[in-house]
Amino acid sequence: MESNHHYTYQQLAVFAEAVFLKMGCTDSDAALATKVLLSADLRGIDSHGIARLVGYVRLWELGRINATPDIKIVHETPSTAVIDGDRGLGLIVAPRAMEIAMEKARQVGTGWVSVKNSNHFGIAGYHAMMALEQEMIGIAMTNASALVAPTYAAEKLLGTNPIAVAVPAGDEAPFVADFATTTAANGKLEIAQRNNITIPFGWAQDADGNATQDANILKNGGALLPLGSEKEQGSHKGYALGSIVDIFSAVLSGASFGPWAPPFPAYVTMPENMPGEGLGHFIGAMRIDAFRPAADFKSNMDLWLNRFRKATPVKGYEKVYVAGDIERSMEIVRMQNGIPLVQNVQNDLIALAEKMSLYFERKS
């Protein structure tokens, strides 16, 4: 298995912020982008954290990311808005969208913002969780470049299109779901590739649509499978979910969608005849007390959370988790013990530091 090098949150934050400043972000945008990016590393979603920093820089070098975007509302009603991200970092466009959604929720109960012309926004969970402190339910989703084959399809038409939903509670820790609408996120295949091991059946198919355990299959015409894996196990449901995310994020906003969603890796050529602008997100906020007195809701939500957390586990398992519990524990551990980076990521960051005349410590 791969060896890890541990860095403190502070070390990674100082470096990431310096990189965003070098790109030309304002001080506040650099600080925000860093916080959003590293929330992934803290929560154990390593594929979406500092490992992607180099990728953002490459897109900026190509002019596909604008470090000083003029993010603006292009259409709105009391409960909705479409915003144009002006090719900004999704890491700052999405929090802006959530601010607008929450302001609308304060006014009329709920707010729903569809975003076009954006880029990769880090983990969906960060944006959804912004609502928690405001006693709101937060919702965040994004489309992404096509890696997923619909049920019965031999081609890739959807991204891993994650959905996050954060629900506040009273005394109990909140409910925070954040998941790709595929059986496995692409990051899990990348881990298997690095460790040179096979992947379980149900994660991917080969170019002809056959089951495969080859972790490298996406480089050879293969595709990720929607949540459910096979038709008999409900893959048409995962396919429908991924479709909903694509439609809400991109068709509703005027972003590019389906197989035309812009790719994250800078070396992948942009799709031809793109029907919209950039990547799309869909962000929602619902004020709890737009439905019930917040105290009543929180009391019931605590009961809900407690009942599920205390559920009888299957023999051999210690406990039953609620969505977000594992990530919350990880956050505490990594804030204390540091964030492990694999060798490739460390190498990438050292090379990035050299290119940008910054310093990134090599640890062995």
Residues 319-348 that bind a second copy (CB under 8 A): 319-323
CA distance 203 to 324: 22
What is the size of the binding site for a second copy (CB under 8 A)? 87
Q: How far is the CB of 243 from a second copy (least distance, A)?
A: 6
Q: Does 60 participate in binding a second copy (rule CB under 8 A)? A: no
The three-class DSSP label of residue 164 is strand
Specify the residue for token string 């929607």. 226
Minimum CB distance to a second copy smaller for 1 or for 314: 314
Containing H/E element for 185? none
Q: Say what angle helices 9-23 and 343-355 make with each other, to 10 degrees.
A: 40
Query: What's the number of CA atoms in the CB half-sphere (13 Å) around residue 223?
Result: 28
Minimum CB distance to a second copy smaller for 307 or for 363: 307
Amino acid identity of 86?
D
Figure out which of the listed residues 109, 170, 271, 340 binds a second copy, where binding follows CB under 8 A.
109
Figure out which of the listed residues 27, 70, 133, 155 binds a second copy, where binding follows CB under 8 A.
155
Segment lying near a second copy (by CB under 8 A), choices 35-43, 45-53, 126-134, 286-294: 286-294
Minimum CB distance to a second copy smaller for 11 or for 193: 193
Subset of residues 202 to 231 that bind a second copy, contact rule: CB under 8 A: 202-203, 205, 208-209, 227-229
The three-class DSSP label of residue 167 is strand
Q: Does 108 participate in binding a second copy (rule CB under 8 A)? A: yes
Q: Give me the phi and psi of 7, to 5 degrees please.
A: -125, 150
CA distance 314 to 304: 20
Q: How far is the CB of 157 from a second copy (least distance, A)?
A: 6
Figure out which of the listed residues 291, 344, 361, 362 binds a second copy, where binding follows CB under 8 A.
291
Q: Does 307 participate in binding a second copy (rule CB under 8 A)? A: yes
Minimum CB distance to a second copy smaller for 120 or for 298: 298
Figure out which of the listed residues 122, 258, 262, 263 binds a second copy, where binding follows CB under 8 A.
258
Minimum CB distance to a second copy smaller for 327 or for 348: 327
Q: How far is the CB of 4 from a second copy (least distance, A)?
A: 23
Q: How far is CA 309 from CA 128, 164, 328, 332, in A?
A: 22, 20, 14, 19
Q: Does 75 participate in binding a second copy (rule CB under 8 A)? A: yes
Radius of gyration of the chain (CA): 20
Minimum CB distance to a second copy smaller for 9 or for 321: 321
Q: How far is the CB of 312 from a second copy (least distance, A)?
A: 5
Which pair of structure tokens corresponds to residue 303?
């009961």
CA distance 207 to 222: 4
Figure out which of the listed residues 184, 217, 345, 352 binds a second copy, where binding follows CB under 8 A.
184
N- to C-terminal Cα distance for the chain?
A: 16
Q: How far is the CB of 242 from a second copy (least distance, A)?
A: 10
Containing H/E element for 75? strand 72-77
Cβ neighbours of residue 1 closer than 8 Å, sequence gap 6 or more: 195
Q: Does 58 participate in binding a second copy (rule CB under 8 A)? A: no
